Structure 1
């Protein structure tokens, strides 16, 4: 999905660089709001035991998941430059996202139960949420610096 969106947007961004700038700004604003929501999130609600979705259902869901579209669009706008080879940049970003997803998924799988127990404590949950929000904000620093450079 990321690759398909990126290759489509890459062509659009090369034809209309202003769209790239606008989507980058929107992406930074969205991620800042998301960081705020993470920082202020409370404990998740208890869920009933339900049947988990299958791998294919999960993969299919990403195509209608607005957060996945926003993430892909925002990341492509934030971490590419229209003046450079967009296709190569999108391929590189796709590989980085895939490489980051594998250890992230394994970390959540392996430590999920332990984290769940640890995060039942409101203080630990607050520290965790603030840490995740700060990491998200820090991940945007290069993008914001590049925006400032482009606008000056």
Structure 2
């Protein structure tokens, strides 16, 4: 891959990974509720799910998704329902002691969520279409795209988990936990809008 294309890929991955979306809002919520260390499995599941999406997109699944609107709709509905369920969990988590009884999203759950996350599919399809031109080096380009998503994407999403963890001391103040959890629930529910625009 030429240097200019590699730099463009790196910038694309950085922008798509650090901008708000369902993954980042969920990571911030998890960092807030469980701390950075307990959010790590969730954080590591995201790039692995995206890497699997990239390979599937490169193998032709991206074209199928583009041609089958019912499959796209099913993904949007499933992703929306999952986010509503998470928002309800956050809304009900009133106090820190109650939050401690809950468990963070697991590695496998985070990885699986990528398959119903339309933003992740769009990101993967665009990356493959733009940065992996057909030809004899197609698989090499696809592997490089996956490596960049892992190397650049992970630190970008870690910022969101770290930001949530930095807000964690506020949870110890009386009444603040309820307000913060409800604000995070509202943000999680609002990210559903991103699926539909």
Task: Supply the distance in 1 between the matched residues of 2:100 and 2:162 (Cα, whole angstroms).
Answer: 24
Please report the TM-score for the alignment, with normalisation by the length of structure 1.
0.59
1:1-152 correspondence to structure 2 within 5 Å? 1-10=48-57, 11-16=60-65, 17=68, 18-42=70-94, 43=96, 44-45=99-100, 62=107, 65=108, 67-75=109-117, 77-81=118-122, 85=126, 87-88=128-129, 94=149, 98=154, 100-108=156-164, 111=166, 115-116=168-169, 118-144=170-196, 146=197
What displacement does 1:143 show? 1.6
Question: CA separation of 1:39/1:100 partners in 2, compared to 1, >3 Å: closer, same or farther?
Answer: farther
Q: Deviations over 1:52-79 (max 9, x none)?
A: xxxxxxxxx73xx2x213321122x345
Task: Supply the distance in 2 between the matched residues of 1:122 and 1:70 (Cα, whole angstroms).
Answer: 36
Task: Supply the distance in 2 between the matched residues of 1:21 and 1:28 (Cα, whole angstroms).
Answer: 10
CA root-mean-square deviation: 3.3
Q: Deviations over 1:30-62 (max 9, x none)?
A: 11111111111143237xxxxxxxxxxxxxx73
SS of the counterpart of 1:45? helix
List gaps (5 residues or longer) in structure 2.
1-47, 131-144
Task: Supply the distance in 1 between the matched residues of 2:185 and 2:121 (Cα, whole angstroms).
Answer: 23
Please report the TM-score for the alignment, with normalisation by the length of structure 2.
0.48
